[in-house]
Amino acid sequence: AQGTGWWRSAVVYQVYPRSFADSDGDGIGDLNGITSRLDHLARLGVDVVWLSPVYASPQADNGYDISDYQAIDPAFGTLADFDRLLAEVHARGMKLVMDLVVNHTSDQHAWFVESRSSKDNPKRDWYWWRPAREGFEAGRPGAEPTNWASFFSGPSWTLDEATGEYYLHLFDRRQPDLNWENPEVRQAVHEMMRWWLDRGVDGFRMDVINLIAKDPALPDGALTGTAGLGDGYPHYGTRERVHDFLQEMHREVFAGREGLLTVGEMPGVTWDQARRFTDPARREVDMVFQFEHVSLDHGPGGKFDPRPLDLRALKASLGRWQTALAEVGWNSLYWNNHDQPRVVSRFGDDGGYWRESATALATVLHLHRGTPYVYQGEELGMTNAPFPSIDDLRDVESLNHYREAVAGGVDPEVVMAGLRAMGRDNARTPVQWDAGPHAGFTTGEPWLPVNPNHTRINAEAQYDDPNSVFHHYRRLVELRHTRPVVALGDFRMLLPDHPHLYCYERALDDARLLVLANLGADEQDVELEPGWEAEHVVLANTDRARVKAGRAVLGPWEALVLER
């Protein structure tokens, strides 16, 4: 039922260009920097590089606000630099997947500049323009056409004084939403996608693609408790119409092309919806990024009010997705990306058990069924950063949240604590290549300071250490490439109610794989099913764990993989 997708045994590595490697000393990572570091990725053994946006952009949201889809931002280089990067990726036997950000453009995109210029501009209908709410004077609080909250704080509508109408932006006001109901918009996007595929790229990661189909009636959402704002999600998130758009995109762009990868980023998507999006027979996307497992530690006040993770809830969630997509569809597997705090700080222990917890979490994730994604620096065990004050943060989501929360009377130190734990800049500090100045990322001043722990945590120190986080990730990638049971085997969760152990079995024909991980600081004793012996251990993250007489004893954050 899975078709024969090559990506079932592949591992994807995400590059966030701004923070990967800077070749020209301006403090901002760039395409030539990425090209110069490709051997790092080849050494890790990954199959695909997903590049976060490098298109022309005012950088209000670090490139997720695009002003020209067919140009490279000068901060990142030129189209010639891009072609060279692509050729070098292909020369190493890897593929390159682009970020596709088409729920919205930048407010500086020529389409929006035209659209906002007058009410009768031919591109007016390319975006969502609406007058003030009936009975309200434009510009007054509450006059927004709907009560929808933006993902980045405040209302999702901004008044454009020139024409006296509001435009919709689910994210920042500098990211106006495209109107996908307009066929001209869809054709323009398809044409742009074909242009990149013709250039040789191997697919797309589609930004918030389940949010592109809005209910044209634009109803209000249920009140959320923040200053009259409502939850618009039911009216723009994962609506039936988005399946039409994705199937049309498949016909217009992907049909007849081989070897591509498409992954839809889908906030709020449920497993039953994901199964439809990724059913190969429906020709929509190969896999989706879901958010359930990275929302389990959100508290009553939302993502910036985190609570400790309950491991049982994590197992219930990931286990349910494994079961739901076992016969039809396909999972993507991730702990980290450019929007999430670093997993070793979030679900692990970035103090005393830094190496053990980084490698245990990696083991648990990578041996599930699905396609794993490694976010730059995760393979080095990079941690969250200190961020002493709000002046040290750059991310638009964090800055907007701080402004709104502090204006609403919340203690600034409480807000900072939430941002330190969950803010997106944690993922965006420069990659730690070596122990030298700015971690070898740049010869200039980095746009976001390097984490001071780079003197201890860096790539150079790990290449020569066979027990490093880097080599553990390398071995996990290798296991997927060499063991069909890792790529294709059935999944069975063990000990679902245990609060500290994460254990499961994979099975394909006669092959069995057993994963045992202690995600805590106390020693754990696991009783093994008959047949498992010490000689079956194929991977361990310490040399201390013991398998003997039908049991395994796992010390703090120890993980074992057995195979027979």
Residues marked active site are found at 207, 265
Question: Got the DSSP string for 170-208?
Answer: SS-TTSPBB-TTSHHHHHHHHHHHHHHHHHT--EEEETT
Q: Which is nearer to ligand TEU, 136 or 151 (CB)?
A: 151
- Residue 156 CB: number of other CB atoms within 10 A? 28
Which structure tokens are listed for 360?
């245990």
Least Å from the CB of residue 411 to ligand TEU? 21
Q: Which is nearer to ligand TEU, 206 or 501 (CB)?
A: 206
Least Å from the CB of residue 339 to ligand TEU? 4
The SS3 call for residue 219 is coil
Amino acid at 428: R
Q: Could you say which DSSP state residue 217 is in?
A: T
Least Å from the CB of residue 101 to ligand TEU? 6
Which structure tokens are listed for 182?
């307009």
Least Å from the CB of residue 354 to ligand TEU? 25
Least Å from the CB of residue 337 to ligand TEU? 7
Which residues, listed in sequence order, are joined to residue 299 by a DSSP beta bridge? 302
**403, 415 contact by CB (below 8 A):** no
Q: Which is nearer to ligand TEU, 53 or 370 (CB)?
A: 53
Q: Which is nearer to ligand TEU, 64 or 69 (CB)?
A: 64
Give the count of alpha carbons within 13 A of 496, CB side only. Answer: 10
Q: Which residues bind ligand TEU (CB under 6 A)?
A: 61, 64, 101, 151, 171, 207-208, 265, 267, 303, 338-339, 397
Q: Which is nearer to ligand TEU, 32 or 106 (CB)?
A: 106
Question: What gap in Å lies between CA 296 and CA 275, rounded to an integer?
Answer: 21
Question: What gap in Å lies between CA 56 and CA 191, rounded to an integer?
Answer: 17
- Residue 311 CB: number of other CB atoms within 10 A? 19
Q: Which is nearer to ligand TEU, 6 or 233 (CB)?
A: 233
Token pair 């394909």 in the structure block, residue: 508
Question: Got the DSSP string for 119-132?
Answer: TT-TTGGGB-EEPP
| Phi, psi for 157 (deg, rounded to 5) | -125, 140
Token pair 């709000």 in the structure block, residue: 390
**169, 156 contact by CB (below 8 A):** yes
Q: Which is nearer to ligand TEU, 171 or 271 (CB)?
A: 171
Question: What gap in Å lies between CA 285 and CA 263, rounded to an integer?
Answer: 6
Least Å from the CB of residue 303 to ligand TEU? 6
**Closest chain position to ligand TEU (CB):** 64
Q: Which residue from 211, 215, 321, 202 is spatially nearest to 262, judged by alpha carbons?
A: 202
Which structure tokens are listed for 287?
């896999």
Question: What gap in Å lies between CA 42 and CA 37, rounded to an integer?
Answer: 9
Least Å from the CB of residue 340 to ligand TEU? 8
